[in-house]
């Protein structure tokens, strides 16, 4: 990790339910990818008397506390379904990451670009702005949504962004940099639910394996089927090595077809787990139909696949196959183009890194002075400068 930090740098933070990605604008990857799950020390009788809320611990701090076992820890999930639900814990996470990991001298000199889900309303940013300006006293903040930035990371400003992360799968049309709200589609089926399904399929007794092991098995061993029932019931063409996963105790787990394909199938066919959410191809078609015909053509020309769960082998071929089955005659199949970059696991962060290094950041961001100028109009400056 590079240690230099210049106060003129923009710090780009992408809030995710699985990880928060943090780094410096202009760089090609986040410097820090930290688990969003925190641990809050449980108060003892003496601590309760001092009335001090304990700090929520993250990353190395949390690992250390688990090893030392000085106090009991309560697990915290401050980001859920694309939304921050525990702002105190987020303040602790940001403060830890900026001071201890990025080694920023004065948080008050920091300029932040905060990335979150396009589904979050502007009102929701008000609370986050309070944490950033009133508590942490940062210098300036720009809020941006992950879809516009994922698209920007590909060098384009118009396209259809299909993002499947940990807690959310979204399908968002973006026109000249702006996400078009009336056409948004989303579901809560994504990486987190896939890990749960894999856990059920593996039938390993509860408590025997750490959750991170299940997540790792999913990332390494699960694929997206081209045709689910054929792939699950057909012969496995994989070698023994490709089917085998070595558990932490050295024993070997052999993954069968159902375990391999069912977890990812939930985003293509939610009914297999009795869920009535739309599948990704349904979301894409629905979103496209909500847009004007000329705009649809532009969207078809640039379909960007991103988010951690787009990294599964077979993801693009399956979407391509299903979408091509659905498209009407008005669209020429040759005009449909998919973009799947190698950095798609953190493309929103990359887009933020690119935006943060443009001089326009200064005009777009909300400064501490603007925010504090008129206490009554804090909300209006957030509305005016949030996209
Ligand atoms: N190589 C991989 N193959 C398959 N899945 C992966 C891979 N790497 C990460 N994932 C999964 O992607 C998810 C994390 O994706 P991502 O970082 O986009 O989510 P997030 O931003 O933390 O969450 P949110 O859904 O709130 O945006 C996790 O469920 C993780 O297991
Ligand atoms: Mg995300």
Query: Which residue's C-alpha comes closest to atom 9 of ligand 1?
Result: 308
Q: Are 59 and 38 in contact (CB under 8 A)?
A: no
Q: Is residue 96 within 6 Å of ligand 1 at its C-beta?
A: no
Q: Does any domain span residue 331? A: yes
Q: Which of 322, 340, 358 is the last residue of a domain?
A: 340
Looking up residue 109, the CATH number of its domain turns out to be 3.30.420.40
Q: Does any domain span residue 74? A: no
The CA 306 to ligand 2 mean position distance, Å, reads 9
HEC-encoded secondary structure of 5-18: CCCCCEEEEECCCC
DSSP one-letter code for 122 = H
Q: Are 107 and 136 in contact (CB under 8 A)?
A: yes
Atom number in ligand 1 closest to CA 81: 26
200 and 253 both lie in a single domain: yes
Q: Which ligand number lies closest to the CA of residue 312?
A: 1
Q: Is residue 59 within 6 Å of ligand 1 at its C-beta?
A: no
Q: Are 13 and 143 in contact (CB under 8 A)?
A: no
228 and 361 both lie in a single domain: no
Mutate to test the pocket of ligand 1, among 23, 115, 145, 165 (most ligand atoms within 8 A of CB): 165
Q: Is residue 214 within 6 Å of ligand 1 at its C-beta?
A: no
Q: How far apart are the first and last CA of the chain?
A: 32
Atom number in ligand 1 closest to CA 80: 26
Please state, in angstroms and as integers, the Cα–Cα distance from residue 196 to each residue in 214, 248, 301, 325, 330, following that order. Answer: 8, 19, 35, 30, 40
335-356 per-residue burial string, b: 16 or more CB within 10 A, e: under 16: ebebbbbeebbbbbbbbbbbbb
Q: Is residue 118 within 6 Å of ligand 1 at its C-beta?
A: no
Residue 7 pLDDT = 56
Mutate to test the pocket of ligand 1, among 265, 309, 340, 351 (most ligand atoms within 8 A of CB): 309
Neighbours of ion ligand 2 (CB under 5 A): 16, 165
123 and 237 both lie in a single domain: no
Q: Report which of 28, 32, 19 is spatially closest to residue 343, judged by C-alpha positions.
A: 28
Q: Is residue 262 within 6 Å of ligand 1 at its C-beta?
A: no
Q: Is residue 169 within 6 Å of ligand 1 at its C-beta?
A: no
Q: Is residue 173 within 6 Å of ligand 1 at its C-beta?
A: no
Q: Which ligand number lies closest to the CA of residue 192?
A: 1
Q: Does any domain span residue 48? A: no
The CA 276 to ligand 2 mean position distance, Å, reads 23
What whole-number distance in Å separates Cα of residue 127 and Cα of residue 305? Answer: 30
The CA 287 to ligand 2 mean position distance, Å, reads 20
289 and 182 both lie in a single domain: yes
Residue 238 pLDDT = 82
329 and 312 both lie in a single domain: yes
Residue 1 pLDDT = 45
State phi, psi for 321 to the nearest 5 degrees: -60, -45
- Compute mean pLDDT per 10 residues along the chain, 387 residues long, and list them: 61 98 97 97 69 88 93 94 94 97 93 93 86 95 96 97 98 95 95 97 90 96 97 86 92 96 98 98 95 92 98 97 85 90 97 95 91 75 71
The CA 192 to ligand 1 mean position distance, Å, reads 8
Q: Does any domain span residue 59? A: no
Please state, in angstroms and as integers, the Cα–Cα distance from residue 346 to each residue in 258, 310, 328, following that order. Answer: 28, 11, 32
Please state, in angstroms and as integers, the Cα–Cα distance from residue 224 to each residue in 19, 267, 304, following that order. Answer: 23, 10, 18
240 and 372 both lie in a single domain: no
Helix, coil or strand: residue 256? coil
Residue 327 pLDDT = 83
Q: Which ligand number lies closest to the CA of residue 194?
A: 1
Atom number in ligand 1 closest to CA 169: 25
293 and 335 both lie in a single domain: yes
Q: Does any domain span residue 153? A: no
Residue 235 pLDDT = 83
Q: Which residues contact 4 (CB under 8 A, 6 or more apart)?
A: none
Q: Report which of 201, 340, 197, 182 is spatially closest to residue 268, judged by C-alpha positions.
A: 197
Q: Give the range of the structural domain holding residue 260, as residue numbers without chain letter.
A: 191-266
Total number of domains constituting the chain: 3
353 and 223 both lie in a single domain: no
Residue 9 pLDDT = 85
Q: Is residue 30 within 6 Å of ligand 1 at its C-beta?
A: no
Q: Does any domain span residue 40? A: no
Looking up residue 242, the CATH number of its domain turns out to be 3.90.640.10
Q: Which of 204, 235, 266 is the last residue of a domain?
A: 266
Residue 3 pLDDT = 44
331 and 353 both lie in a single domain: no
Q: Which of 266, 286, 315 is the last residue of a domain?
A: 266
185 and 285 both lie in a single domain: yes
137 and 237 both lie in a single domain: no
244 and 359 both lie in a single domain: no
Q: Is residue 270 within 6 Å of ligand 1 at its C-beta?
A: no
Q: Does any domain span residue 329? A: yes
Mutate to test the pocket of ligand 1, among 191, 306, 318, 350 (most ligand atoms within 8 A of CB): 191
Which ranges in 153-227 belong to alpha helices (H)? 191-202, 211-221
Q: Does any domain span residue 211? A: yes
């Amino acid at each position: 990790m590079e240690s230099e930090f210049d106060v003129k740098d923009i710090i780009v933070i992408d809030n995710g339910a699985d990880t928060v990605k943090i780094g410096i604008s202009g760089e090609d990857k986040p410097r820090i990818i930290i688990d969003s799950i925190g641990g809050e020390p449980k108060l003892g009788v003496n601590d309760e008397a001092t009335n001090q809320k304990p700090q929520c611990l993250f990353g190395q701090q949390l690992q250390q506390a688990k090893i030392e076992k000085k106090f009991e820890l309560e697990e915290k999930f401050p980001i859920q379904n694309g939304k921050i639900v525990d702002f105190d814990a987020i303040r602790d996470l940001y403060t830890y990451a900026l001071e201890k990991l990025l080694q920023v001298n004065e948080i008050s000199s920091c300029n932040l670009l905060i990335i979150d889900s396009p589904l979050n309303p502007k009102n929701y940013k008000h609370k986050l702005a309070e944490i950033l300006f009133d508590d942490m006293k940062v210098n300036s903040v720009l809020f941006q949504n992950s879809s516009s930035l994922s698209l920007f990371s590909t060098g384009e400003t118009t396209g259809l962004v299909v993002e499947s992360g940990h807690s959310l799968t979204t399908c968002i049309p973006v026109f000249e940099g702006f996400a078009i709200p009336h056409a948004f589609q989303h579901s809560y089926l994504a990486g987190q639910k896939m890990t749960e399904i894999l856990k059920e399929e593996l039938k390993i007794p509860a408590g025997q394996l750490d959750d991170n092991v299940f997540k790792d098995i999913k990332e390494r061993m699960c694929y997206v089927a081209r045709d689910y029932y054929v792939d699950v019931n057909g012969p496995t063409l994989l070698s023994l090595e490709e089917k085998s996963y070595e558990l932490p105790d050295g024993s070997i787990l052999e993954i069968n077809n159902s375990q391999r394909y069912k977890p990812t199938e939930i985003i293509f066919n939610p009914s297999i787990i009795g869920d009535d959410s739309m599948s990704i191809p349904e979301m894409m078609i629905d979103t496209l139909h909500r847009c004007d015909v000329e705009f649809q053509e532009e969207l078809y020309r640039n379909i960007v696949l991103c988010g951690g769960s787009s990294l599964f082998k077979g993801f693009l071929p399956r979407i391509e196959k299903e979408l091509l089955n659905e498209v009407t005659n008005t669209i020429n199949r040759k005009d449909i183009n998919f973009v799947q970059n190698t950095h798609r696991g953190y493309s929103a962060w990359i887009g933020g890194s690119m935006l943060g290094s443009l001089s326009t950041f200064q005009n777009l961001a909300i400064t501490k002075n603007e925010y504090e100028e008129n206490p009554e109009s804090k909300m209006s400056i957030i509305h005016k400068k949030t996209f």
